[in-house]
Amino acid sequence: MKLRFPIIFLALAFFLFPSCEGSLDDEKRASNEAEIERFLSSKKLQFTKQNGVYYATREKGVGYEITKGDSVAFWYIGYTLKGNYFDTNILEEAEKLGFDTSVRDYSPIKTVAGTNDFLEGINRGLILCREGEWGTILFPAIYGFGENIVESIPVWSPLAYDIFIIYVKNQEIEQEQNIISNFVASSSGYTQDSTSLWYKYITENESGISPSLGDTIYGWYKGSTMNNVVFEDLAAEGQELVLGDDELIDGLLYGFLMMKTGESMNMLVPSPLGFGITGTDIVAPYTPIFYELRLDSIK
């Protein structure tokens, strides 16, 4: 069946495939997944796969992860793995691709994550995205247009969408931002960096050496909640740490990379750079944390 619709393909999803999973063609899905993985390999992209959908980070973001029920806004560019670009809500991209820009509105898509507003691949893939990040959602045709011909897209084509998440909003995020604002208002000397960390140097050393990602350093840090409950304290002086090791949360990594040897710092770490939307046994989800840290030397 050949469909004839405007190029706002995302809006087709709710009636194209309301529920097709019971009749999936496993052979076509396997073929599509193999094609997707070859595509990712050829682009040298690291990826995760969840719920039948692939996600690859293009430009890492440091904002909030997305969970069901969040209010989200995003830009996107849709294309096949063979390089056929068929849809975007970015005016500059549409003009470069030669699209007729008179047939639609070019503005951010706003939605609630977890609803079924879009192609099933987009619905599933949004949960893998992150605020402030360019990523690519890829999915087999069963979560796209399947056996339908839509404009220039061949039947059973796996699809890719480059996605940039403009914002993520929910009540917990609003509460966390209020906590951070109150802390900054009542504390002097703190500066916000580009990753949203708030930091204050306690000891500075202009002649010190700055570490790089991958370096082994010697230092110390202590982490506590905003209620002064200590959840981590390196008791040993001059503890060996690897910058980029998965054991360090992003906030600590960025903090040490900002420092020079001989310096110490206090910093407030928002949850996206801390324990995120899951938290720990001590730190609740969507909770900022406080760190004291010191950089002694670089190996």
pLDDT at 7: 39
pLDDT at 152: 83
Mean pLDDT computed over 253-273: 98
Per-chain mean pLDDT for the chain: 91
Residue 21 has pLDDT above 70, yes or no: no
pLDDT at 63: 97
Q: Which domains does the chain have, with CATH numbers?
A: 2-169 (3.10.50.40), 171-298 (3.10.50.40)
pLDDT digits (tens, 9 = 90+) for 53-78: 999 999 999 999 999 999 999 999 99
pTM over 0.95: no
The lowest-confidence range among 20-29, 213-222, 270-279 is 20-29
The lowest-confidence range among 70-84, 186-200, 206-220, 223-237 is 223-237
pLDDT at 26: 86
- Between residues 101 and 133, the one the model is more confident about: 133
**pLDDT grade for 149, boundaries at 50, 70 and 90:** confident
pLDDT at 4: 31
Residue 9 has pLDDT above 70, yes or no: no
**pLDDT grade for 137, boundaries at 50, 70 and 90:** very high
Residue 14 has pLDDT above 60, yes or no: no
Mean pLDDT computed over 7-25: 49
Residue 3 has pLDDT above 80, yes or no: no
pLDDT digits (tens, 9 = 90+) for 190-204: 999 999 999 999 999
**pLDDT grade for 103, boundaries at 50, 70 and 90:** confident
pLDDT at 22: 52
Residue 147 has pLDDT above 90, yes or no: no
Residue 12 has pLDDT above 80, yes or no: no
- DSSP letters spanning the chain: -EE---S-GGGGHHHH-SS-GGG--HHHHHHHHHHHHHHHHHTT--EEEETTEEEEEEE---S-B--TT-EEEEEEEEEETTS-EEEES-HHHHHHTT--TTSS--S-EEEETTSS-S-HHHHHHHTT-BBT-EEEEEE-GGGTTTT-EETTBPTT--EEEEEEEEEEE-HHHHHHHHHHHHHHHHSSS-EE-TTS-EEEEEE--TTS----TT-EEEEEEEEE-TT--EEEE--STTEEEETT-TTS-HHHHHHHHH--TTEEEEEEE-GGGTTTTT--SSSPTT--EEEEEEEEEE-
- Between residues 286 and 19, the one the model is more confident about: 286
